[in-house]
Amino acid sequence: MLQTGEAPEAASERLGLLQLSDEALLEALVERVVAAHPAQVAHYLAGKSTVLGWLVGQVMAASAGRANPQKAREVLLTHLERLRSTS
């Protein structure tokens, strides 16, 4: 940064050091994880709440560890509750 004059935030983004907190991006990751793991989603919807942590882990893996875990959990829960209400 000192040599290039690059702003710290720009350097952090370029290096992939910033957490993903954008709801639209997280929703896309959640949709991908839910589509890829229908059995685990069905277990959660059937009342096995321990699967939630595993699903959050899958969202984290899909984001290469860059997703904000709390925000990812919130978006995932919202998505799962939407699925529950439509089924």
pLDDT of residue 19: 78
d(CA 51, CA 24): 23
Please identify, in words, the CATH class of the domain defined by 19-86. mainly alpha
Nearest to 19 by CA among 58, 60, 50: 60
CB contact set of 43 (below 8 Å; sequence gap of 6+): 51
Per-residue model confidence as pLDDT tens digits over 13-72 = 555 555 789 999 999 999 999 999 999 999 999 999 999 999 999 999 999 999 999 999
Element (H, E) at 11: helix 8-14
Where are the domains positioned within the chain?
A: 19-86
Q: Are 3 and 52 in contact (CB under 8 A)?
A: no
pLDDT of residue 32: 98
pLDDT of residue 30: 98
Give the number of other Cβ atoms within 10 Å of residue 47's Cβ: 7
